[in-house]
Every structure is written in C-alpha cells, then in structure tokens.
Amino acid sequence: MRFDEKIAIVTGVGPGLGRSTAVGLARRGADVVLGARTRSYLEGVAKEIEDLGRKALVVPCDITKREECKNIADLAVQRFGRIDVLVNNAGWMGPTDHVVDVDLDVWQEAVDGNLAGTMAMCKFVAQHMLKAERGSIVNVTTIQIRQGRVQRSAYAPAKAGVHLLTQVLASELGPKGIRVNSVAPGAIWSEKLEAYYQTLADSRGVTYDQVYAEMTAEMALHRIPSPDEVANGVMFMASDWASAITGQSLDVNAGWFYH
C-alpha cells in the first residue's frame, strides 16, 4: 500500500488517529497538508514527516469556519499542484447532557464541528479533484452511527449524517473518478483513555485489569485498537488497493458489533 508522490490533506491532526494517519501516509510516500486548530502540534508532526524525507505543509484550520476549509484546500493546490487524498478526521464529541438539559448552542457547535465541517471540506477539496477527475476522500465517523445511546444527541446524529453524506458524495463524484468512503472506529487507545480506566478502577475499588476487561467485553478481540491500527484502515480506504470501493463504511473497532 503506497502513496508515492501523492498529495494528502488530513484534518484533525492531533494526538492519536490524526497524527498516525498523517505520519503513516508520509511513511508510504505522500506529502501531507496538516490541518488542525493548534499550530504548535502541527509543527511537531510536520517535523516527523520531514524527517521521513517527505514534505509537509502546516495550515491551522477550524473546520467550523468555511473560509478556513476553502483556504486549506487552496493552499494545498498552490503548494503542490493538486490534491489526491482527503482524510476528514476533525470532529468533536460535543455535549453529553441529556436531551432535556442540553445547551442547544453547544449542540449546534458539535453538529458544525462534525457534519457541517466535513461537508465544507469535501466541497472545497472536490472542486479541485474534479479538475483532475481523480481522488479519494475518507471520512472518519464512529461506531455510534449504528445505534443511538444516551447522552450522544449531538455527536452520534452528526456522525450518522457524515455516513449518509459519504454515500451521497460517492454517487455524485464517482462518475468523475473520485471515491468517497468512511471508516467507523470504536474506542481508540490513548494515554487519556488509560487514565480514565484507572480513575474508574480507583473509584470502584477494583483493579485496572478488571475495568479494561469490562470495557472490552463486547469486542470480539477483547482489546482496544491503537491509533496506528485504525489509521491502517483509513489508509486502505484511501489507497489504490480500494480502487473499486466507494460509498462504503469500514468498521475498525476490534469486532465491536454494537447491536
């Protein structure tokens, strides 16, 4: 699976999946445009990419601002001449209040930061991809698109919207050689998640291993995937290995069926 000389934009480049995807693409030959709100972190990832012998362009970007979505697409083309791959990883969990208590302004921010922002990135990047009549877009959704659960009245519906948007765009852009797919992770391993599990264990008077076993009991592999493992799924869908796949969602969640 190679991306030699390809140009990729990755949004939401923070610790975890965003960084793993950006560095993974570079390791496989791509030059990468890095988008997120925190410039200092982007610059660190850019250094990793440059150390691999690839080029990186840092473009601070808040996907809730349409002009910034257009800007990152335009700057990518100005610098590299084209866009071959877009990975829409940016998103925000949003409020976790019950629906009767939720602040609707905060709820709207979560919808903007997931569905509307993804739509804007797809629009402005697709305008460039259409000129070349080729390209691949991968939208990161979530296992939560499968079933609504409590306290996810913003995040889950917004990501479900991204899932359907993926199918719509695949139908619209497919005749022009542009593929659009999505990847649906479950939990992704991180130091923050490890600390949360330890806090739960301490509060309940049980061991960390007991909490981990409980949290992974519904997963067929009984473990939580690493950011690199989920990034592998993203890169597969973006790559020529998936050249006949479009409008599809790939679960990368250790067999968490979420029924």
Residues 198 and 232 in one domain: no
d(CA 138, CA 163): 11
- Could you tell me if 115 and 154 are in contact, meaning their C-beta atoms sit under 8 angstroms apart? no
d(CA 91, CA 94): 9
User: Does residue 114 lie within any of the structural domains?
Assistant: yes
Given this model, what pLDDT does residue 146 score? Answer: 85
Residue 52 in tokens: 């691999």
User: Does residue 258 lie within any of the structural domains?
Assistant: no
Residues 197 and 164 in one domain: no
User: Does residue 72 lie within any of the structural domains?
Assistant: yes
Residues 27 and 117 in one domain: yes
List, for residues 55-103, the tens digit of each pLDDT value. 999 999 999 999 999 999 999 999 999 999 999 999 877 777 788 888 8
Average pLDDT value for residue range 97-112 = 86
Q: Which of 146, 35, 155, 15 is nearest to 87 (CA)?
A: 35
Residues 122 and 170 in one domain: yes
Domain count, the chain: 2
List, for residues 180-235, the tens digit of each pLDDT value. 999 999 999 999 999 999 999 999 999 999 999 999 999 999 999 999 999 999 99
User: Does residue 216 lie within any of the structural domains?
Assistant: yes
CATH of the domain at 231: 3.40.50.720
Residues 135 and 18 in one domain: yes
Residues 63 and 115 in one domain: yes
pLDDT exceeds cutoff 70 at 259? no
Q: Which of 158, 168, 121 is nearest to 12 (CA)?
A: 121
C-alpha distances out from residue 172 to 128, 135, 227, 239, 241, Å: 15, 13, 31, 20, 22
Q: Which of 142, 214, 138, 133 is nearest to 181 (CA)?
A: 138
Active site residue 155: yes
User: Does residue 2 lie within any of the structural domains?
Assistant: no
- pTM value is 0.95
Quote the strand ranges of 91-224, DSSP E: 135-140, 178-185
Residues 196 and 97 in one domain: no
Residue 190 in tokens: 């991180």
Residues 131 and 242 in one domain: yes
Residues 116 and 241 in one domain: yes
Task: Identify the active-site residue in 155, 196, 212, 258.
Answer: 155
User: Does residue 257 lie within any of the structural domains?
Assistant: no
Given this model, what pLDDT does residue 257 score? Answer: 84
Residues 167 and 219 in one domain: no
Residues 92 and 125 in one domain: yes
pLDDT exceeds cutoff 80 at 237? yes
Given this model, what pLDDT does residue 211 score? Answer: 97
User: Does residue 87 lie within any of the structural domains?
Assistant: yes
Residues 199 and 80 in one domain: no
Q: Which domain holds residue 99?
A: 7-188+225-252
User: Does residue 259 lie within any of the structural domains?
Assistant: no
List, for residues 121-176, the tens digit of each pLDDT value. 999 999 999 999 999 999 999 999 987 777 777 889 999 999 999 999 999 999 99
